[in-house]
């Protein structure tokens, strides 16, 4: 159990908060932690001020910001007597200290936490508090909306865990909930935290994971509701030096912090008699925590890979075989290659995660079992984890066969075209020996551009071919297309078709061209580059440019669905003139 937090640091004299002069005790205290985030703090606080349940206390807990945050926070406190500003006298370097100090001064019987770059949906407090009122529980948790800052796309975090409203009598009844380790998606009974001296661990990152694991294990009962109670803004392509630890996976210290927290969780489970949760907790680490790093492996250099293996391998060795057995085979392969020190091969395998990409080669033993890679593993663990026999690489239906298509050369071609050299690996020997007809397919809009080319055998299981992708021939919609596409390679076997992703060289420089299209259609700027994360597929991005994109696009979209209208014909005429 985490020891009780030390006495709270007193706020600086000039920043000491004034307690709102009201006889009423607030129902809920919501703590907003902030550090050097003056720009987004007002949005977070505004989401609290407009909560449908108004009897709340808002504590802005500032981890000694050095930007305009103190001024902005004081202005927000002056606007609403429900807002209190707490400033730590020194920077703690994490989320734990500002949360703990706010817990210690909170006046309400229930607590919530909000990060300054996120928001609460309007009915979040009301929904969680109502669930607390239905039956006595230690905390209530709800759904988290994830909003991508770059695209605006919204999804639900771990939707299967919060789809059904229910009260859970202890985490051992539903150990899968360990996957939902966010502290911000929950409303806690303050007496529950105080009775167990439960505070956020200070001086480490990934504090949410330890705090949440402890809360789950200490709670006699908690309620899950499907209503959205938190809006989490994510920046998957944000700056690597951003404050969010999600964007700092390139640092080996980040790996070390995550593994360290797992060890603390393990020790807590052991100490509290929750050994039965170890398989579920180990599976969570492999499926979620390790998987986040696995997708980045292709983009790391040799020094980083060696450091990564040195940190994770001792911990991986102690995880249960049952946890490994629950993983998809592709993930087990990547983990085992890291454990075996085959780090360059782990990078190759990681490029197939999530995309059904096969290996470059298979090895077969005397019993006819086949393994990932060009040699039979030397150890029992290697043979167990790298065994692909049950996946039927040489017998599964052709549409599901796992080929591997890699670009070996990319050069600009005349006009707006790309000359590609493609190598296709057929480790299961599914293709007949001899030349193969393949197609490169991409669809910027509803219609596809299909370019046929020939793959010639260079040795058993390996084919190579050349294809020119003419971007000027792409059937871009008349009102333009703004978006990203990843071309596919299609192979056929009679009437059966197999589609696979096309992997780009990760060192491929960005290639950009201005592409004119047919009369009445805006010209576009098209960029070809490797995908920045994950598999590193060839990525094509279209952006309309010029006067037409600003004038014609909105006009045509407004009259979409009226193919015979005079307005649409006029739009086409205007487009041809503007071009």
Q: Please give the Cα distance from 374 to 360 (Å, whole number).
A: 8
Residues in Cβ contact with 556 at an 8 Å cutoff, skipping those fewer than 6 apart: 478, 479, 568, 571, 575
According to the model, what pLDDT value does residue 85 have?
A: 97
Q: Stretch 348-369: mean pLDDT, rounded?
A: 96
In this structure, what CATH number is given to the domain that contains residue 38?
Answer: 3.90.550.10
Where does the pLDDT of residue 546 fall: very low under 50, low under 70, confident under 90, or very high at 90 and above?
confident
On whether the CB atoms of residues 371 and 380 are closer than 8 A, the answer is: no
Where does the pLDDT of residue 3 fall: very low under 50, low under 70, confident under 90, or very high at 90 and above?
very low
Q: Point out which residues pair with 503 in neighbouring strands.
A: 406, 537
- Residue 450 to residues 467, 468, 473, 505, 515, Cα–Cα distance (Å): 11, 11, 10, 22, 18
Reduced to 3 states, what is the DSSP secondary structure of residue 233? strand
On whether the CB atoms of residues 113 and 215 are closer than 8 A, the answer is: no
Residue 2 lies in a domain: no
Looking at the fold, whether 316 and 178 belong to one and the same domain comes out as no
- Residue 87 to residues 10, 18, 70, 548, Cα–Cα distance (Å): 8, 12, 8, 52
* Kind of pairing between the strands at 538-544 and 483-485: antiparallel
According to the model, what pLDDT value does residue 144 have?
A: 97
Domain count, the chain: 3
Residues in Cβ contact with 380 at an 8 Å cutoff, skipping those fewer than 6 apart: none
Residues in Cβ contact with 30 at an 8 Å cutoff, skipping those fewer than 6 apart: 48, 56, 57, 58, 59, 111, 112, 113, 114, 120, 125
Looking at the fold, whether 309 and 175 belong to one and the same domain comes out as no
Helix (H) or strand (E) holding 192: helix 190-195
Q: How far is CA 176 from the centre of its chain?
A: 19
Looking at the fold, whether 271 and 370 belong to one and the same domain comes out as yes
Q: Please give the Cα distance from 376 to 198 (Å, whole number).
A: 50
Q: Please give the Cα distance from 204 to 96 (Å, whole number).
A: 8
Looking at the fold, whether 230 and 342 belong to one and the same domain comes out as no
* Kind of pairing between the strands at 56-62 and 83-87: parallel
According to the model, what pLDDT value does residue 547 have?
A: 60
Q: Point out which residues pair with 56 in neighbouring strands.
A: 28
Task: Answer yes or no: is pLDDT of 247 > 60.
Answer: no
According to the model, what pLDDT value does residue 571 have?
A: 40
Looking at the fold, whether 421 and 545 belong to one and the same domain comes out as yes
Q: How far is CA 21 from the centre of its chain?
A: 43
Q: Please give the Cα distance from 466 to 453 (Å, whole number).
A: 7
Looking at the fold, whether 411 and 363 belong to one and the same domain comes out as no
Looking at the fold, whether 371 and 452 belong to one and the same domain comes out as no
Residues in Cβ contact with 430 at an 8 Å cutoff, skipping those fewer than 6 apart: 394, 398, 401, 403, 493
On whether the CB atoms of residues 18 and 74 are closer than 8 A, the answer is: no
Helix (H) or strand (E) holding 155: strand 154-157
- Residue 13 to residues 64, 75, 105, 138, 189, Cα–Cα distance (Å): 13, 17, 16, 35, 31
Q: How far is CA 287 from the centre of its chain?
A: 13
According to the model, what pLDDT value does residue 521 have?
A: 80
Calculate the average pLDDT of the chain: 89
Residue 216 buriedness (CB in 10 A; 0-12 / 13-18 / 19+): buried
**Which of 393, 417, 448 lies at the terminal end of a domain, its last residue?**
393
Residue 7 lies in a domain: no
According to the model, what pLDDT value does residue 415 have?
A: 86
Domain that holds residue 336: 252-393
What's the sign of the alpha-carbon dihedral 506, 508, 513, 515? negative
- Report the share of the chain in percent with pLDDT over 90: 81
The two three-digit tokens of residue 151, written as one number: 């695209």
Task: Answer yes or no: is pLDDT of 487 > 60.
Answer: yes
- Residue 556 to residues 124, 480, 568, 573, Cα–Cα distance (Å): 40, 9, 6, 11
- Residue 154 to residues 121, 147, 234, Cα–Cα distance (Å): 13, 5, 10
Residue 3 lies in a domain: no
- Residue 14 to residues 35, 103, 481, Cα–Cα distance (Å): 18, 21, 54
**Which of 393, 428, 448 lies at the terminal end of a domain, its last residue?**
393
Q: Stretch 483-492: mean pLDDT, rounded?
A: 96
Q: Please give the Cα distance from 326 to 64 (Å, whole number).
A: 44
Residue 460 lies in a domain: yes
Main-chain phi, psi angles of 80, to 5 degrees: -150, 120
According to the model, what pLDDT value does residue 533 have?
A: 85
Q: Stretch 437-450: mean pLDDT, rounded?
A: 95
The two three-digit tokens of residue 227, written as one number: 């209503």
Residue 338 lies in a domain: yes
Looking at the fold, whether 48 and 142 belong to one and the same domain comes out as yes
On whether the CB atoms of residues 574 and 555 are closer than 8 A, the answer is: yes
What's the pTM value of the predicted model, to 2 decimals? 0.85
| DSSP H helices in 109-180 | 124-134
Q: What is the DSSP letter of 400?
A: G
Neighbours of 444 (CB within 10 A): 23
Diameter of the chain measured on Cα atoms = 86
Looking at the fold, whether 563 and 420 belong to one and the same domain comes out as yes
pLDDT digits (tens, 9 = 90+) for 202-227: 988 899 999 999 999 999 999 999 99
Main-chain phi, psi angles of 484, to 5 degrees: -120, 140
According to the model, what pLDDT value does residue 24 have?
A: 83
Nearest to 140 by CA among 67, 210, 225: 225
According to the model, what pLDDT value does residue 563 have?
A: 43
pLDDT digits (tens, 9 = 90+) for 276-320: 999 999 999 999 999 999 999 999 999 999 999 999 999 999 999
**Which of 239, 274, 298 lies at the terminal end of a domain, its last residue?**
239
Task: Answer yes or no: is pLDDT of 549 > 60.
Answer: no
The two three-digit tokens of residue 309, written as one number: 């293996």
- Residue 176 to residues 232, 284, 327, Cα–Cα distance (Å): 21, 8, 14
According to the model, what pLDDT value does residue 518 have?
A: 76
- Report the share of the chain in percent with pLDDT over 70: 88
Task: Answer yes or no: is pLDDT of 69 > 80.
Answer: yes
Residue 246 lies in a domain: no
The two three-digit tokens of residue 490, written as one number: 């299609």
User: Length of the chain in residues, anyone?
Assistant: 579
The region of weakest confidence among 390-394, 486-490, 543-547, 566-570 is: 566-570
Residue 17 lies in a domain: yes
Looking at the fold, whether 386 and 268 belong to one and the same domain comes out as yes
Rg (CA), the chain: 28
According to the model, what pLDDT value does residue 478 have?
A: 85
According to the model, what pLDDT value does residue 519 have?
A: 72
Looking at the fold, whether 482 and 570 belong to one and the same domain comes out as yes
Looking at the fold, whether 353 and 429 belong to one and the same domain comes out as no
| DSSP H helices in 272-320 | 278-284, 291-294, 302-316
Residue 348 lies in a domain: yes
Reduced to 3 states, what is the DSSP secondary structure of residue 308? helix
pLDDT, greater one: 491 or 566? 491
Where does the pLDDT of residue 515 fall: very low under 50, low under 70, confident under 90, or very high at 90 and above?
very high
């Amino acid at each position: 159990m985490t020891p009780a937090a030390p006495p709270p640091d007193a706020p600086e004299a000039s920043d000491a908060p004034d307690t709102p002069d009201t006889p009423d005790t607030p129902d809920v205290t919501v703590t907003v932690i902030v550090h050097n985030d003056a720009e987004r703090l007002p949005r977070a606080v505004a989401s609290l001020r407009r909560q449908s349940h108004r009897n709340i206390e808002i504590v802005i807990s500032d981890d000694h910001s050095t930007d305009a945050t103190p001024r902005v926070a004081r202005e927000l406190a002056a606007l609403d007597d429900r807002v209190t500003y707490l400033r730590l006298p020194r920077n703690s370097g994490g989320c734990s200290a500002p949360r703990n100090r706010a817990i210690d001064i909170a006046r309400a019987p229930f607590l919530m936490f909000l990060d300054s770059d996120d928001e609460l949906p309007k009915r979040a407090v009301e929904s969680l508090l109502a669930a607390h009122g239905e039956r006595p529980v230690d905390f209530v948790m709800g759904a988290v909306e994830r909003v991508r800052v770059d695209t605006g796309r919204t999804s639900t975090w771990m939707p299967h865990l919060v789809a059904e409203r229910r009260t859970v009598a202890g985490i051992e009844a539903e150990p899968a909930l360990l996957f939902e380790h966010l502290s911000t998606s929950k409303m806690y009974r303050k007496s529950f935290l105080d009775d167990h001296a439960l505070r956020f661990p200070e001086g480490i990152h990934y504090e949410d994971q330890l705090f949440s694991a402890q809360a789950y294990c200490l709670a006699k009962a908690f309620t899950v509701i499907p209503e959205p109670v938190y809006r989490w803004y994510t920046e998957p392509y944000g700056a690597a030096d951003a404050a969010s630890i999600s964007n700092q996976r390139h640092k080996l210290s980040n790996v070390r912090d995550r593994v360290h927290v797992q060890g603390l969780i393990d020790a807590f489970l052991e100490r509290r008699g929750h050994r039965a949760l170890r398989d579920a907790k180990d599976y969570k680490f492999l499926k979620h925590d390790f998987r986040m790093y696995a997708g980045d492996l292709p983009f790391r250099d040799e020094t980083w890979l060696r450091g990564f293996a040195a940190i994770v391998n001792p911990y991986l060795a102690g995880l249960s075989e049952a946890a490994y057995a629950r993983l998809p085979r592709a993930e087990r392969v990547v983990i085992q290659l890291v454990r075996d020190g085959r780090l360059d091969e782990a990078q190759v395998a990681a490029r197939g995660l999530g995309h059904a990409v096969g290996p470059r080669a298979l090895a077969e033993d005397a019993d006819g079992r086949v393994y990932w890679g060009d040699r039979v593993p030397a150890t029992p663990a290697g043979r167990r984890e790298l065994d692909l026999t049950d996946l039927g690489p040489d017998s599964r239906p052709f549409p599901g066969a796992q080929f591997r298509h890699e670009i070996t050369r990319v050069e600009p071609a005349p006009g707006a075209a790309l000359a590609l050299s493609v190598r296709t690996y057929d480790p299961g020997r599914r293709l007949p020996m001899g030349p193969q007809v393949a197609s490169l397919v991409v669809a910027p809009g509803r219609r596809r551009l299909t370019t046929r080319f020939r793959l010639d055998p260079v040795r058993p299981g390996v084919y190579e071919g050349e294809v020119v992708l003419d971007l000027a021939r792409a059937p871009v919609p008349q009102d333009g297309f703004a978006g990203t596409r990843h071309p596919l390679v299609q192979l056929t076997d009679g009437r059966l078709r197999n589609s696979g992703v096309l992997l780009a060289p990760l060192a491929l420089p960005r290639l950009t061209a201005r592409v004119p299209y047919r009369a009445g259609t805006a010209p576009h700027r098209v960029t070809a580059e490797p995908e920045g994360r994950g598999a590193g597929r060839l990525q094509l991005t279209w952006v309309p440019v010029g006067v037409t994109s600003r004038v014609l696009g909105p006009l045509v979209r407004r009259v979409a669905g009226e193919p015979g209208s005079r307005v649409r014909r006029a739009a086409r005429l205007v487009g041809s003139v503007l071009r």
